[in-house]
Structures are given as structure tokens and as C-alpha cells.
């Protein structure tokens, strides 16, 4: 079965509207999908409706931004009740920070000789909350960078123009918002943080201490070896394993819908908890 539990829409920094995402995923053979927009749940109703029409199983999702030991870590929440008050309040706080950060990023870019970034980024966000991807689109469209990857090397990251440090939720907060809402918390793309083995194990321990139950083993941003490493960590800590593409944009050739490899055989699939 083709299961994808990590995708984005225009409700955060994805390029497709929720219903377009569902259509494309369905055509690509995805049978179960979670929409996991950054720090928001605004796309879930539209996506669920489209999934019903396409005869696809839909799972409520979110990707929460967390500050942990001075780093930004992403925690995916799956199969929760979006109207849970503490989750709603938590999301509102993260979105406030996103707005303040966007203003500050634009000011910093302006000082670096790049005017108009706030309005420029907004023209790519369709009125939705602003993320670095929208600034990246603006920088590429105006010739400041040749592509998105170039942006995330030369702008908006530590010690580069337009960088603002994250001030996100704590691990305890983010995990409790998801579990309190009846959902399952998952460490997103663990290999992307480039942590040493010791630090990664510390992250997993802190996450489990907070009530987290799963890690992404198969991810669009994991290579074959990273899948093996994360499967070993999942087994070691008796965590459930998740799988998600982290799809954002049909024009990003490195991540496609409907093409995820299966979980390694020793893994306990996280979807056993809700399918």
C-alpha cells in the first residue's frame, strides 16, 4: 500500500492547494495521505473532502516547529482532533512568531540591499502565513539566487542575509498539543538535522519523555543508508516508524508523490495505531 504521512499545501509553504495535492497524490497511486502543513491546520477540511471524493484515506496532520537545544526540530502530529484548545492556542503562538520573523527577515534583507521582500514573499503565500520558502521564491524570481537550494545556502540561514533565529515551541509543548488532541507525535526527517549519534539519541529520549511515539524512517529526504540507520534507532527505542515524502512542489524533481520505498521489515508501522 502506498502511504504518505508528510505533505504540504498552500496552507503553509506547499505549491498546490489542498484539493490539487489530493488529486495529484491520488493519480500517483497514494492510498493513504496525511496533510502536514507547518504550524497550521487550515488545509485539513478541504483536503479531507477532496480525499473522500477520490476514495483516498485521509489522516489529519501537522508539522510543528520546535526549538530544541538551540536547533529547529520538526515534529509531525498525526490523527488528532484539530479543534483541541491547547493545540489551537499553540498554533496561534507559532503563527504570531512567523509574522514577527517575516517582518524581521525583510528588514535584514533590506539592509543587505534587497528591498521589498515582505510584499514579495506575500505574493507567493496567497495570504497564508509566511515561511522561508515564500522568501526563497521571491529571491529566485528576482534574480538574487539561481534556485531554491541556492537560497538555503546563501540567504535565510545562520550567518547569511535575512537570517532570524527560531523561537518556536518547546518539545514538551508541541508533543503535548498533539497527544492531548488524541494524536501521535513523530520526529520528522531525523537525518536532516545532521546530529551526531549521541545528540540524536538525546533528541529521541527527550521526545519520548514528552510522550512522542514514532520517528520517520522512510522520508523523501533520507537516502538508503539513512533509512537503515533510522530503522535501527526505531528498533532500539521501540518506536513506531512513519513514512512521508515531505512533498512541497511538483517542480522540485527530487521529491515525488507515490514513490516512497516500503518500511524496512523490522519496523512497526505507525499507521497500525490508526488504520
Contact call for residues 92 and 85 (beta carbons, < 8 A): no
Residue 236 region by backbone torsions, left for phi larger than 0, else alpha for psi between -120 and 50, else beta? alpha
Q: What is 166-187 written as a DSSP string? A: ---B-HHHHHHHHHHTT-EEEE
Does 132 engage in binding with Mn ion (CB under 5 A)? Answer: no
Say how far residue 116 (Cα) sits from the centre of its chain: 27
Q: Which is nearer to ligand AMP, 220 or 269 (CB)?
A: 220
132 contact choice in Mn ion, ligand AMP, none (CB below 5 to 8 Å, kind-dependent): ligand AMP
- With CA atoms as reference, report the closest residue to 186 among 167, 202, 204: 204
Residue nearest to ligand AMP (CB): 131
Nearer to ligand AMP by Cβ, of 222 and 231: the residue is 222
Binding site for ligand AMP (CB under 6 A): 13, 38, 65, 131-133, 148-149, 152, 248
- The residue (of 56 and 102) whose beta carbon lies closer to ligand AMP is 102
Instruction: Report, in Å, the least distance between residue 131 CB and ligand AMP.
Output: 3
Spatial distance between the Cα atoms of 255 and 29, rounded to a whole number of angstroms:
15
Q: What, of ligand AMP, Mn ion, none, does residue 148 touch, CB below 5 to 8 Å by kind? A: ligand AMP
Quick count: other Cβ atoms within 10 Å of Cβ 8? 26
Give the sign of the dihedral formed by CA 237, CA 243, CA 246, CA 251: positive
Question: Given candidates 179, 246, 247, 257, which one binds Mn ion under the rule CB under 5 A?
Answer: 246
Nearer to ligand AMP, 56 or 186 (CB): 186
37 binds Mn ion (CB under 5 A): no
User: Which residue of 13, 39, 42, 173 would you call a contact of Mn ion, by CB under 5 A?
Assistant: 13
Whichever of 194 and 265 has its CB closer to Mn ion, that residue is: 194
Amino acid at each position: 500500500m502506498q502511504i504518505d504521512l508528510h505533505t504540504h499545501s498552500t496552507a503553509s509553504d506547499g505549491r498546490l492547494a489542498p484539493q490539487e495535492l489530493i488529486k495529484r497524490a491520488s493519480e500517483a497511486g497514494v492510498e493513504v495521505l496525511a496533510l502536514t502543513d507547518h504550524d497550521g491546520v487550515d488545509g485539513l477540511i478541504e483536503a479531507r473532502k477532496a480525499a473522500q471524493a477520490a476514495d483516498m484515506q485521509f489522516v489529519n496532520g501537522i508539522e510543528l516547529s520546535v526549538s530544541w537545544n538551540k536547533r529547529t526540530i520538526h515534529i509531525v502530529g498525526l490523527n488528532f482532533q484539530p479543534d483541541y484548545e491547547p493545540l489551537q492556542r499553540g498554533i496561534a503562538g507559532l503563527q504570531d512568531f512567523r509574522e514577527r520573523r517575516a517582518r524581521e527577515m525583510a528588514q535584514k534583507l533590506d539592509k543587505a540591499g534587497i528591498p521589498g521582500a515582505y510584499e514579495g514573499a506575500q505574493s507567493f503565500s496567497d495570504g497564508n502565513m509566511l515561511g522561508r520558502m515564500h522568501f526563497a521564491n521571491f529571491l529566485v524570481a528576482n534574480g538574487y539566487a539561481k534556485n531554491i537550494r541556492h537560497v538555503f545556502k546563501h540567504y535565510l540561514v545562520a550567518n547569511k542575509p535575512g537570517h532570524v533565529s527560531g523561537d518556536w515551541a518547546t518539545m514538551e509543548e508541541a508533543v503535548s498539543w498533539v497527544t492531548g488532541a488524541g494524536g501521535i507525535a513523530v520526529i520528522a526527517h531525523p537525518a536532516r538535522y545532521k546530529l551526531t549519534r549521541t545528540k540524536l539519541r538525546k533528541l529521541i529520549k527527550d521526545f519520548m519523555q514528552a510522550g512522542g511515539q514514532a520517528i520517520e524512517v522512510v522520508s523523501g529526504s533520507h537516502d538508503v543508508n539513512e533509512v537503515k540507520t533510522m530503522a535501527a534507532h526505531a528498533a532500539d527505542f521501540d518506536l513506531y516508524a512513519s513514512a512521508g515524502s515531505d512533498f512541497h512542489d511538483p517542480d522540485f524533481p527530487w521529491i515525488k508523490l507515490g514513490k516512497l520505498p516500503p518500511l524496512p521489515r523490522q519496523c512497526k508501522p505507525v499507521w497500525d495505531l490508526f488504520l
